[in-house]
Copies of this chain bind each other. A is one copy, B any other.
Amino acid sequence: MELKEYFPMWDRLSAAEQNTLLAASDKRFYKKGQIVHSGLKDCTGLFLVRSGQLRAYIISDEGREITIYRLLSRDICLLSASCIMQSIQFDITIEAEKDTEAWLIAAEAYKSVMQESAPLANYTNEIMASRFSEVMWLMEQIMWNSFDCRLASFLLEESALEGGTTLKITHEIIANHLGTAREVVTRMLRYFQNEGMVKLSRGTVELADINALQKLKDK
């Protein structure tokens, strides 16, 4: 994918602006499990995902994590370039969940074009608004939905992302996605197994009754 395919308003940039962005872009490759970006001070730049999968998460002082959103092919990661806006005052960490190819646009170059270009500034606004919306959705889940419902929802999403009903995932990793402790996940998965909704074995969770999980998710 070419750079311009990520920006629907590309033709409304001047030739000079397009060249600034192109000159500041680099292809990057990350191995599964690699940390791609970490924290506020580290103003890495914007990632434009070509293939693979990135996970953005926050992490507490005690090392507890919660997944904020995922970035797939065609997605743009803005918050890895938080220095382009002074009002972004929170830390996120981004890791490659699968082997990932991406464009990286240097933050300073992007900022210089954005500050002069209404089309790019407005498009950046839309990207931020959609991340903001994902976080609000997540907060509503955490506040109003019980943990059984969030876990069912997570298993169904993973299954959709992986394209199969057998997930290779540990209880520890599920806990990190959902911001809870491993024991809490293990207890609930055992309950799901007793109800016939999943089958557990070492390192895998098999979704045995998709309908029941879906019902739990939508309750």
Which residues of A are in contact with B by a Cβ distance under 8 Å? Answer: 58, 60-62, 64, 66, 85-90, 114-118, 121-122, 124-133, 135-140, 142-144, 179
A-B contact pairs, 12 of them (CB 8 A): A58-B136, A61-B144, A62-B144, A64-B144, A87-B126, A87-B129, A90-B140, A121-B121, A132-B135, A135-B139, A138-B139, A139-B142
Q: Could you tell me if B86 and A133 are in contact, using CB atoms closer than 8 angstroms?
A: no
What's the nearest-Cβ distance from chain B to residue A144, in Å?
A: 4
- How often does this chain occur in the complex, in copies? 2
What's the nearest-Cβ distance from chain B to residue A20, in Å?
A: 14
Whole-angstrom CA separation of A161 from B147 in the bound complex: 35
Check A128/B125 contact, CB under 8 A, given A118-B117, A142-B139.
yes
Whole-angstrom CA separation of A103 from B137 in the bound complex: 29
Whole-angstrom CA separation of A2 from B96 in the bound complex: 48
In the bound complex, residues from chain B placing their C-beta under 8 Å from that of A117 are 118
Q: Could you tell me if A87 and B118 are in contact, using CB atoms closer than 8 angstroms?
A: no
Nearest B-chain residue to A115, judged by Cβ: B122
Q: Could you tell me if A129 and B88 are in contact, using CB atoms closer than 8 angstroms?
A: yes
Whole-angstrom CA separation of A90 from B144 in the bound complex: 15
In the bound complex, residues from chain B placing their C-beta under 8 Å from that of A64 are 143-144
In the bound complex, residues from chain B placing their C-beta under 8 Å from that of A89 are 130, 133, 136-137
Q: Could you tell me if A128 and B118 are in contact, using CB atoms closer than 8 angstroms?
A: no
Q: Could you tell me if B128 and A132 are in contact, using CB atoms closer than 8 angstroms?
A: yes
Q: In the complex, which of the residues A62, A121, A179 has the most CB atoms of chain B within 10 Å of its own CB atom?
A: A121
- When the two chains form the complex, which single residue of B90, B140, B179 contacts A60, counting CB atoms closer than 8 Å? B140
Whole-angstrom CA separation of A61 from B140 in the bound complex: 11
Nearest B-chain residue to A116, judged by Cβ: B118
